[in-house]
């Protein structure tokens, strides 16, 4: 897996070519490669774990890798908030050079927020998606991992090479 400093693969669709080849305030696109089975268990690996029973949170730090189905998220730190009964993950926040990959698709951002129950993932800050010679960037990407659809917003820039898959 490439380092978080290398902007690597992600997803674009035919609608990308039609969606503002220059700049726009928001772009809806299909992210089929970042679709995952959200019923799968969530596994977290890290160098260190700190648990706060009072707030119902667990903070993983150092080389954090979160895996759910085919989705893999890497970050410097991940804080998980558990449900009131401590039986499920309510939310997950990742900070420190976030890289998300599923299959051959990937995205990078400054931070991410994920809700396993809904499958909603929000990437925030210097978001970059690429696939082959195509690229899409913006400040915020809101994804539904259930449907594989999303919206990029915040000064969206699209780069694509006609004739390439």
Dump pLDDT digits (tens) for 72-84.
Answer: 899 999 999 999 8
pLDDT digits (tens, 9 = 90+) for 81-103: 999 888 888 999 999 999 988 76
Both tokens assigned to 83: 């449900």
Rounded-to-integer distance, Cα 62 and Cα 142, Å = 25
Average confidence (pLDDT) over 104-128: 90
Selected residue with higher pLDDT from 104 and 42:
42
Rounded-to-integer distance, Cα 137 and Cα 2, Å = 18
DSSP string, the chain: ---TTS--B----HHHHHS-SSEEEEEEEE-GGG---TTSPEEEE-SEEEEETTTTEEEEEEEEEEEETTEEEEEEEEEEEE-TTSSSEEEEEEEEEEEEEETTEEEEEEEEEEETTTTEEEEEEEEEEEETTEEEEEEEEEEETTTTEEEEEEEEEEE--TT--
Whole-number average pLDDT of the chain: 76
Which fold is adopted by the domain 14-159? lipopolysaccharide transport protein A fold (2.60.450)
Average confidence (pLDDT) over 52-72: 92
Q: What is the pLDDT of residue 2?
A: 32
pLDDT digits (tens, 9 = 90+) for 130-162: 665 677 899 999 988 788 788 899 999 987 777
pTM above 0.95, yes or no: no
Checking if the pLDDT of 107 tops 80, the result is yes
Rounded-to-integer distance, Cα 112 and Cα 73, Å = 9
């Amino acid at each position: 897996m490439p380092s978080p400093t290398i902007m690597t693969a992600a997803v674009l669709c035919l609608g990308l070519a039609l969606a503002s080849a220059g700049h726009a305030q928001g772009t809806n696109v299909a992210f089929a490669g970042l679709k995952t089975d959200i019923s799968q268990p969530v596994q977290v690996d890290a160098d260190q774990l700190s648990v706060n029973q009072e707030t119902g949170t667990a903070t993983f730090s150092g080389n954090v890798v979160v895996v759910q189905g085919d989705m893999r998220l890497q970050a410097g730190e991940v804080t998980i908030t558990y449900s009131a009964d401590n039986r499920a993950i309510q939310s997950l926040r990742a900070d420190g050079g976030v890289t998300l990959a599923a299959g051959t698709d990937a995205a990078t951002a400054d931070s991410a927020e994920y809700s396993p129950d809904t499958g909603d993932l929000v990437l925030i800050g210097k978001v970059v998606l690429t696939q082959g010679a195509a690229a899409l960037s913006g400040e915020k990407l809101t994804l539904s991992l259930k449907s594989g659809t999303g919206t990029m917003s915040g000064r969206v820039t699209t780069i694509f090479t006609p004739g390439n898959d």
